[in-house]
Structures are given as structure tokens and as C-alpha cells.
Chain A
Amino acid sequence: MSENTNPQTQTEPQTGTATTDTDQPLTTTTGETDEQAQDEWTEYEFAGEAKMTVENLDVHYGDDHALKGVSMEIPEKSVTALIGPSGCGKSTYLRCLNRMNDRIKSANVDGSVHLDGEEIYQDGVNLVELRKRVGMVFQSPNPFPKSIRENIAYGPKKHGDLDTGLLARLLNRSDAEERDRLVERCLRDAALWDEVSDRLDDNALGLSGGQQQRLCIARCLSVDPEIILMDEPASALDPIATAKIEDLIDDLSEEYTVVIVTHNMQQAARISDQTAVFLTGGELVEYGETDQVFENPRSKRVEDYITGKFG
């Protein structure tokens, strides 16, 4: 296949002024760095629009260079999987996509991230609005200790998308019908409705782990996001709950852009359209269609990693 023979030219070793040898404890010799740079295959051409475009993203946590000059485009309405060993920077990268790293004092982010062509790392960006558009689901389900119904309605209420009717405002109470429609829609979209429709006022903490995670996804959907970031959303779940989440991700990708970090390579292979492989040292080493990455990776290091010969 001709695409396998195109060497990449864009990925040169990062030699920014802020980067010193001590900043890169995981990089060994200069020669090896050159060799590694020749083994990077990150140019991925896809049909359709890029929802997000990331350019030369560098993240430092203090002296630790966690992410090195990552550039990639994320196609809209598809599933992008981020895989790699622990400490490779994939979660750091995910958190950059809705500026969650801003919450970490020692984190220093350089580079640019465009959402629909607009820079999210510029002054004046409304972070609440950004995180409404770019929602996140975490590894452990974290529902509010409230009823199932309130978990879903909480976000829209906070954002002022509920209780906007005149009657509701005058009487200072919810437009119950509108709220319940929203609750049902989100729970249906998260494939949870059939399991909880008769107990919407029960405490969400009484649900099983898998149901709680789907509730968190429903809660994420309630504010009408465009992108859903997922950080190992099924790693704490049993195989059946995992299968439900995976089916759900597949369904969601028809309407939303999903970016998922997973340690489970088979999961990435099953559910994603494209896969980005990060390797230790915070480098993006290969990015391409998922079947190509898992059947015929272009990078030798990626081949070694996914076949278990790494390390």
C-alpha cells in the first residue's frame, strides 16, 4: 500500500528554547531522538471536517515535559482513541482539549487548540461555556449525591437553560414538563432510560457502577455538548457494563465528536475510527485510521508497543 511508504517530514525533534536536557529525563541520546523522529507517522488525512485542530502543543508540569509538540486534527462526529503506556501524556492531552489543565497550578501549556476554527487558549475565552461545548466523562463514575432526575437537570439549570419560562420565573419553580423531557431524552441517549425510568427520584448513588457511568454520560449530554472527552470511562466496569458503554459511544458518535483515552487496546480497536498512539516521553508517535494502526502500524515503536514487545 503506497501510504505505508510515505515518510513523515513534519515531526522533527522538539528543540524549543524552554527545553533542556533536564527537561527530558525520558529521552536518551541525541542519535536515538533522531531515529525516533524518523519513526513518527502523525499526518492523518481524513474525509470531512476537523472539529478540533491542535498545533505544537507542549505541556510542562514544573520541570517535567509531559507533552512534546503534539499536532493533530480531530475529525467531527467520530471516535478518536488515545492510547499509550502510563505517563505518555494521553490524559494530559485530553485535558488540554477543554482546558482542564488550567486547574493545575504547575501546568504550563504552549501551542494552540482550535475548536471550530477558534483558539480556545486565548484571553477572554469563557471556560464555563467551553466546558459546556467540550464535556468530560471521568474514569470513576461521579454522580452528584442527588436524585437521578436532579443529576441530569443540574447542568442545564446552572447554565440557565431550564426554568426560563415566564411562569417558572414568576413562581420561582421549574418548568417540570420541560425538565422531564430533557431528563428522558438524555437518559434515552445514554441508553439508561429503560433501566431507571421508574425510579427517577431515587438517589443516583444507588445505581450500579455501569449505570452511574451512563448517568454521568447522560449528565454530560444534558448541556448539549459538541465534543465528549472520556478518560478511561469503562476501566472500572465489568464486561457487560463495558459493552454497554462501548455501544453507547458508537451511538453517540453519530451526533457528537468523541475523544477517548483508554488503556485497553482492544477497546480502542473495537470502538474508534482513528487512533493516536502516544509513547513514553509525551510524544505522539502515530495517528491514523484504527484498522491501519492495529493491522499495519507504520511506526516500529508502535508495532512493538501494541504487540507487547515494548519495554
Chain B
Amino acid sequence: MPRERYQDSLDELRSDVLAMGDRVVERLDDGLDAIERRDESLARDIVDGDAEINETYLRLEDRCVDLFALQQPVAGDLRFVTASFKIITDLERVGDLAVNLANYSRAATRTVAPDAEIEALGEAARALLERSLAAYEARDADECRAIAEADDEVDAMCQHASETVTRDLIAQNDDDSWAAERLLDDVSRVLLTIRDLERVADHAVNIAARTLYMVENDPELLY
């Protein structure tokens, strides 16, 4: 096949994006773990490790720019490089959200916080992220559409979790102002955690949307 070096560059970009995806999923797992176990040292590792994700992001962004400038990809190749260029941004943001989770875990006292089923929510968001990366790898347009639909369930879970937490807060009728403040802190953090997990799922949908564009030139899910 002609243009072998160019084809090799495309293959390499694909595998590097997937490797970045795997790393980000690991970070997200760590973030969820840190929250669950209130593991201070794990949380610190996540915060410190974000630089590595950022470096990978910049390196891959540079690779895409080189491909645009030097190889002028067209047609399916163009859509692949364009999609990858956007997908790495989503992955980098998920890395940032994992850092957020780590920071929440370090600050949480969890003495009075209500049970918002964060673990199940985290698992659902993580599953969507993994599915979106698998769809990118397999160029699976149907799975992309299925991911967008599944995001509705995650949104519903987030909505339910937020309501549970808020109701719990209202139900508390403690005269102890110190305890009330602690509760407010915890509740705020839990609400932020819910929001961030919802955003992880949204980034998964973005990845699916770019993948669908890549595979079928279909912009249906882009906005």
C-alpha cells in the first residue's frame, strides 16, 4: 500500500488515543476509589498524575497538527484525525474531573453526608466512557448512538441522587450550628461529585459523537 509511513502514523495515533483513554479510565477508577475509601495517598497520586495526562494530551494534539500540516489527510482519514483531535480534549477533561474527585475525597468528612449512591453513579459514568472508547476503536456507529441514549439513564440517576441529597439536607433540623455547617460542606461536595460524574458521562457522549462523525460523517450527535 502506498504512503506507508502516513498509514503507520494514523495507526499510531489511533493506538495512542486508546492508550490515553485507558490511562484516563484508570484515573477515574482511582478517583472513585479515593472517594469510596477516603484514601488520602491515592488522592494525592491522582492530583500529581494529572500532569502526565496533560502532557499526553499536548503530545497527541501536536501529532494531529503535524498530520494536518504535513500529510493533508482527506475523506475518512480527515474525519479520523479531526475526531481524534477532539476526543483527546474530552479525555483530558475527564482526567481533570478525576482530579476533582480526588480533591473532594480529601476534603470530605463524611460524618453526616447522606447516601447518594455515588458508587453506582460512578460505575455508570465509567462504563459509558469505556464503551465510547471501545466504539472509537471498533468504529461502531450503532454503539455510538446507544451510548447517547444510555446517557439519559445516567442523567436520571444524577437527578435522583441530587434530589436525595437535597431532601436529606432539608429534613435535617439540627440546632447545632457547627454540625449544620459540616453537613452543608458535605452536601455541597456530594452535589459537586454528582455533577462531575454527570460530566464524565457527557464527555463519553462527546467521544461517541465524534466517533459517529468519523465513521459515518454523521453529525447527528455533535450538539
Contact = CB atoms under 8 A, between A and B. Distances in A.
Interface of A: 1, 4, 265-266, 269, 294-297, 302-303, 306-311
Interface string B1-26: 11100110000000000000000000
A285 to B, nearest CB: 13
B1 A295 contact: no
Interface of B: 1-3, 6-7, 72-79, 217-218
A1 B1 CA distance: 30
22 contacts: A1-B217, A1-B218, A4-B217, A269-B74, A294-B75, A295-B74, A295-B79, A295-B217, A296-B217, A297-B75, A302-B75, A303-B75, A303-B76, A307-B73, A307-B74, A307-B77, A308-B6, A309-B1, A309-B2, A309-B3, A309-B7, A310-B2
Nearest to A305: B75
B212 to A, nearest CB: 12
Given A1-B218, A295-B79, A296-B217, A265 B74 contact: yes
Tell which of B2, B7, B76, B218 has the most Cβ of chain A within 10 Å: B76
Contacts of A310: 2
Given A1-B218, A265-B74, A307-B76, 8 more contacts: A1-B217, A269-B74, A294-B74, A294-B75, A295-B75, A296-B79, A303-B75, A309-B2
Pairs of residues from A and B, 6 with the lowest C-beta to C-beta distance, nearest first: A308-B3, A296-B217, A294-B74, A307-B77, A303-B75, A306-B74
B2 A296 contact: no
Contacts of A302: 75
A309 B72 CA distance: 14
A305 B75 CA distance: 10
Nearest to A296: B217
A301 B222 CA distance: 28
Nearest to B76: A303
B160 to A, nearest CB: 37
B78 A294 contact: yes
Contacts of B2: 308-311
Contacts of B76: 303, 307
